[in-house]
Structure 1
Amino acid sequence: MPVRQAMSKPVLLIGPEHTLRQAAQLMMQRHVGSAVIHDPEGEGCGIMTERDVLYAIGQGCDPDVETCRDHITWDAVYAHPDWSLEEAATVMTRGGFRHLAVVEDDEVIGVLSVRDLMREWSRRQAEATATV
């Protein structure tokens, strides 16, 4: 199955000037664990995850003052929507991350998370069990 069929969309897109609290609230409201950060005047696109917010607060950052800009993963790895789920899982495992932005024609069109992979794995297991 290609990544495009399992990825989550639409993507939560926020700016680098959002505070950590705003980022966390938006992720919570959308029930997602990551946000794509777009900085047209800076480094382009990056990703911020719930783990990034947790680490920042754990280091003593004030979530109402500190902005996302300094906690974004700018050198994120991106998946192509036609990759297989196995390719994406391998990249995620090797990189030690749980979210993979999916890019097509220089546009982020989705995010593949470990949760998405598990949903597909569970579905495949249920189908395999039902046919036995």
Structure 2
Amino acid sequence: MLVRDAMSKVILTIGPAHTLRQAAALMSARRVGAAVVFDPDTSGLGILTERDILNSVGLGQNPDQEHAHAHTTTDVVFATPSWTLEEAATAMSNGGFRHLIVLDGDGPVGIVSVRDIIRCWARTGQLVS
């Protein structure tokens, strides 16, 4: 199976000036665990995950004062729709993260998570040894 078969095509995109509370509210409303952060000043893509928000709150930082740009991962590993799920799972395992932004051409077309991969593998029986 390929990443295009597992990825979510619902992409939450936020700006770097969103507060962590705003990001969390949007992520919760859309039921997603990550947001793509687009910074028009750098034309760069980053990712903000539920873990990033949790770490900030755990450090005692105020989610109404902390902005996405300060917590965004900008050293992002991107997948393509034609990657195999094994390639995506390996990249996630090696990098220690649970989400990959999927790029096709210049822009994001989806996000694939560990949960998406497991769901696909469970449906096809690939989890059974």
Q: TM-score, normalised by structure 2?
A: 0.94
Q: CA deviation at 1:2?
A: 1.2
* Alignment partners' CA distance in 2, 1:10 and 1:32: 9
Matched, 1:85 2:85: yes
8 Å Cα contact 1:100/1:113 also seen in 2: yes
Q: In percent, how many aligned pairs have the same letter?
A: 55
* Alignment partners' CA distance in 1, 2:98 and 2:43: 22
Q: CA deviation at 1:46?
A: 0.2
CA RMSD after TM alignment: 1.3
- Equivalence for 2:95: 95
Matched, 1:107 2:107: yes
- Equivalence for 1:75: 75
Higher helix share: 1
Q: CA deviation at 1:112?
A: 0.3
* Alignment partners' CA distance in 2, 1:121 and 1:82: 16
Q: CA deviation at 1:17?
A: 0.5
- Equivalence for 2:7: 7
- In structure 2, the residue corresponding to 1:29 is in which secondary structure? helix
Q: TM-score, normalised by structure 1?
A: 0.92
8 Å Cα contact 1:46/1:72 also seen in 2: yes
- In structure 2, the residue corresponding to 1:37 is in which secondary structure? strand
List alignment gaps of at least 5 residues for structure 2: none
* Alignment partners' CA distance in 2, 1:80 and 1:94: 17
- In structure 2, the residue corresponding to 1:36 is in which secondary structure? strand
Say how many residue pairs are matched: 127
Which amino acid letter does the alignment assign opposite residue 100 of structure 2? L
- Equivalence for 1:56: 56
Structure 1 outlier segments of 4+, above 4 Å: none
* Alignment partners' CA distance in 2, 1:65 and 1:112: 29
- Equivalence for 1:27: 27
* Alignment partners' CA distance in 2, 1:115 and 1:31: 13
Which amino acid letter does the alignment assign opposite residue 61 of structure 2? C
Which amino acid letter does the alignment assign opposite residue 36 of structure 2? V
Q: CA deviation at 1:43?
A: 5.7
Matched, 1:65 2:65: yes
Which amino acid letter does the alignment assign opposite residue 28 of structure 1? S
List alignment gaps of at least 5 residues for structure 1: none
